[in-house]
């Protein structure tokens, strides 16, 4: 795959990232089996061999097991660590974390960010995280505290760069005002079934401020890759059918797959979106990587957008 720079920093990544959310096979640590662990390792190795050089993780993915799986692969493949960009996230605290009555919540306090980072470093078995993200906006966020934590982590050599996830333009702008380091990434949901980022200013801000948007769920949780009649609580069957129908039409004309076209749709945007591929199937990991070789025309791109909207542009 081709590469591109991340934000305005020194790091560079493949055009698609590999997401580690599902690699442990279960969100519950107690349900992860030895076979699940091996399957997760196989998925990471496949992504690495097919040219993915950015690996996206988080401390809450399977209670940290996803980070451990990636860490094991790094130990087993000589030189892999130097050839990839590791992204991981913090800030989400599950129900019962710290005491039995604690609710599910977000936490950007300085101590929590620093402790979370140290936990991720240990599970990954590395000395430095390339890009460290705040996972979801904390409504009690004190930007001074975040700036303090970022500064300590950077000066200690534990993090090379910082970013956010699921932030609105105003939330990102507020944090950047107090942050001593340029935020490199905003990881947000973008797909042909979820196109709000094209209109709500998030991608405009990314272009303006040289921030790299990473697209989580670029295939809408796999719905786009499956049949056009796949059921979904979030998206209507009509919308799924329209989008998948247009994807199939263009894929047939291009002699490729629906997945490749759906990812190419994101790659064409001038903000340089990096879609995060989350399948653990090696063949699908390879298939997704082919999206980097397809350049959609403007007509194809807008045909897909129109299918998503369900009507022509105004």
Catalytic positions: 61
Q: Extract the tokens encoding 259.
A: 């997945």
Instruction: Identify the burial level of 98 via C-beta atoms within 10 angstroms of its C-beta, where 0-12 means exposed, 13-18 middle and 19 or more buried.
Output: exposed
**In this structure, what are the phi and psi dihedrals at residue 313, rounded to the nearest 5 degrees?**
-65, 155
Residue 93, CA atoms < 13 Å, CB-side half-sphere:
18
DSSP string, 3-28: EEE-TTSS-EEESSEEE-TTTTS-SS
Cα 255 to Cα 248: distance, rounded to the nearest angstrom: 10
Cα 43 to Cα 88: distance, rounded to the nearest angstrom: 18
Q: Tell me if 71 sits within 8 A of 57, measured CB to CB.
A: no
**In this structure, what are the phi and psi dihedrals at residue 242, rounded to the nearest 5 degrees?**
-60, -50
Cα 215 to Cα 227: distance, rounded to the nearest angstrom: 22
DSSP string, 208-252: HHT-EEEEESTTGGGTTTS-TT---SSS-HHHHHHHHHHHHHHHH
Q: Tell me if 263 sits within 8 A of 218, measured CB to CB.
A: yes
């Amino acid at each position: 795959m081709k590469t591109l720079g991340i934000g305005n920093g020194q790091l560079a990544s493949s055009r698609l990232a590999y997401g580690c959310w599902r690699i442990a096979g279960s969100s519950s640590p107690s349900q992860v089996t030895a076979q699940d662990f091996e399957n997760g390792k196989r998925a990471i190795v496949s992504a690495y061999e097919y040219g993915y050089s950015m690996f996206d993780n988080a401390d809450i993915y399977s209670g940290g097991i996803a980070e451990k799986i990636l860490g094991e692969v790094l130990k087993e493949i000589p030189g892999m660590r130097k050839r990839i960009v590791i992204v991981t996230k913090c800030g989400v605290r599950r129900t019962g974390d710290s005491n039995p009555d604690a609710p599910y919540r977000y936490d950007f306090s300085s101590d929590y960010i620093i402790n979370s980072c140290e936990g991720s470093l240990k599970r990954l078995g590395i000395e430095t995280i390339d890009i460290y993200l705040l996972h979801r906006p904390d409504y009690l966020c004190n930007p001074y505290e975040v700036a303090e934590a970022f500064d300590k982590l950077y000066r200690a050599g534990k993090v090379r760069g910082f970013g956010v996830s699921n932030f609105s333009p105003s939330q990102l702008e507020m944090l950047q005002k107090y942050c001593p380091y340029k935020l490199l990434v905003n990881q947000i949901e973008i797909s042909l079934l979820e196109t709000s980022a094209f209109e709500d200013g998030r991608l405009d801000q990314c272009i303006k401020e040289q921030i790299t948007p990473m697209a989580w769920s670029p295939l809408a949780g796999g719905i786009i890759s499956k049949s056009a009649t796949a059921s979904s609580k979030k998206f209507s069957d009509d919308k799924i059918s329209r989008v998948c129908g247009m994807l199939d039409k263009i894929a047939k004309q291009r002699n490729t797959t629906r997945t490749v076209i759906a990812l190419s749709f994101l790659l064409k945007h001038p903000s340089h979106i990096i879609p995060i591929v989350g399948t653990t199937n090696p063949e699908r990991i390879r298939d997704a990587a082919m999206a980097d070789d397809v350049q959609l025309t403007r007509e194809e791109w807008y045909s897909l957008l129109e299918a998503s909207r369900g009507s022509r542009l105004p």
